[in-house]
Amino acid sequence: MILAIDTSCDETAAAIVQGRRVLSSVVFSQIHEHQQWGGVVPSVAKRAHTQRIEPVIEQALRKAHVSYRDLKAVAVTIGPGLAIALEVGIKTAQRICMEQRLPLIAVNHMEGHLFSPFVQNSRGNPVREFPFPMIAVLVSGGHSEFVLWTDTMKYEVIGRTVDDAAGEALDKAAKILGFGYPGGPIIERLAAEVGNRDLYQFPRPMLRSPSFDMSFSGLKTSLLYQVRSMTEDQKNTKLHDLASSFQEAVFDTILRKLTRAIRKTKVQTLTLGGGVGVNARLRALLRRYARANDINLYTPPFKYLNFDNAAMIGIVGSYKLDAHQYVADIASLDRIPRLSLPAFQTIAEQSRFMKKRVLMKS
Ligand code: KG4
Ligand code: ZN
């Protein structure tokens, strides 16, 4: 059994896992503490993590009926995330490993989101094989990327946002429209109320570039200009359409770039992970695309797995434990706030990899 810890952003999370099974998962959200500031404040996050990390771990152990003696290792998120928030989890993990003489496993938070569709409950459900090769669509508040996943521990980012993440764009759009944080669920609700119609047709950036990269910051500027050109009354009567058109532009961009990546790689399985992945409109668009193109779509089997949690970190930890990927010097493990998944430096490098890994028909 593994104890997993994640304090990368604004949730204090611990879990006990065994292989791919989650025996317990505890998440303490700080969202109410950050809401009054309109976003996540690092110093507030640090204080809240420090206060809650011990009780959250105790609760995870208790819920799983497990004691420290039953553990085989501790897995902890080392990045990406807020430096002073990550530090709280890492220091706690280091202390436990030294006290209990346990190996420590360092996990990339995005690896957690990547594995989230394959996490099981305590009974081992759902049973899902890994149907490699796959493309994972990871969309959260800090990241938006397409990952070509060819074997359990082999994955490469093949496309990513060059500026704002999809969730960040939705959060900023909500702010421009006068709403609070987080903006994603608010935009989703407003858009649904007008049937997700696309009245304003904001530009879809970077569609002409052959890469699978995306950009969302110009879109935010388009929304800002549109809102500035309206009176307060006009804006208020068009809030739903502004939100809906913005959301359509974000999701349409993702879908078009994804379509290109799938055509190029010929993969037949698509996965979805990250906070934006709970969005019903995004799911509907992906489902429709998958059905029309004979592609399997895997989403996280339980809702909590879309958001930040330690269970997904523990599952990655299990695979790293099997591969003997421990931290060599526990005391010197440090956070890496800008850690990213492996990625190619050039398009040529990327297409060589894809030709080798995935059967590409030119
Ligand atoms: O994965 P996550 O919980 O944390 C990060 O690692 O970033 O993602 C948080 C992001 C926020 O930007 C939030 O606005 C977005 O997920 N989000 C949504 C929805 N619920 C949360 N975006 C669109 N629709 C939603 N229903
Ligand atoms: Zn996350």
pLDDT-derived band at 41 (thresholds 50, 70, 90) equals confident
**Mean pLDDT of the region 130-138:** 97
Is residue 80 in contact with ligand 1, taking CB distance under 6 Å?
A: no
**pLDDT digits over 73-131, tens only?**
999 999 999 999 999 999 999 999 999 999 999 999 999 999 999 999 999 999 999 99
Task: Say what percent of the chain tops pLDDT 90.
Answer: 86
What is the CA(68)–ligand 2 centre distance, in A?
27
Substitution candidate for ligand 1 out of 140, 161, 179, 244 with most atoms within 8 A of CB: 140
Q: Which atom of ligand 1 lies closest to the CA of 143?
A: 7
Instruction: Quote the ligand 2 centre to 110 CA distance (angstroms).
Output: 7
Residue 167 CB less than 6 A away from ligand 1 = yes
Q: Is the CB of 142 under 6 A from ligand 1?
A: yes
Higher local confidence (pLDDT), 181 or 280: 280
Q: What is the position in ligand 1's atom list of the atom closest to the CA of 307?
A: 3
Task: Name the pairing type of β-strands 73-79 and 2-6.
Answer: parallel
Ligand 1 within 6 A of CB of 81: no
Which residue has better confidence, 208 or 1? 1
Q: Is pLDDT above 50 for 330? A: yes
User: At 362, is the pLDDT very low, low, confident or very high (cuts 50, 70, 90)?
Assistant: very low
Give φ, ψ of 208 to 5 degrees.
Answer: -80, -20
- Two structure tokens written together for 258: 């994804």
Question: Is it the case that residue 359 has pLDDT exceeding 60?
Answer: no
Q: Which atom of ligand 1 is nearest to the CA of 274?
A: 1
- Work out which ligand 1 atom sits closest to the CA atom of 247: 23
The 10s digit of each residue's pLDDT in 8-33 is 998 999 999 999 999 999 999 988 88
Q: Which one is predicted more confidently, 31 or 278?
A: 278
Ligand with smallest separation from the Cα of 167: 1
Neighbours of 162 (CB within 10 A): 15
Task: Tell me the CA–centroid distance for residue 89 and ligand 1, in Å.
Answer: 21
CA-8 nearest atom, ligand 1: 6
Q: Which amino acid is at 132?
A: F
Structure-block tokens of residue 273: 């992970």
**Above 60 in pLDDT, residue 361?**
no
The average confidence (pLDDT) of the chain is 94
Percent over 70 (pLDDT), the chain: 95
Between 226 and 38, the higher pLDDT residue: 226
pLDDT (0 to 100) of residue 360:
44
Distance 191 CA to ligand 1 centre (A): 16
**Prediction pTM value:** 0.94
| pLDDT at residue 94 in the model | 98
251 CB-near residues (< 8 Å, 6+ apart): 279, 281, 282, 285
| Ligand number nearest to the C-alpha of 186 | 1
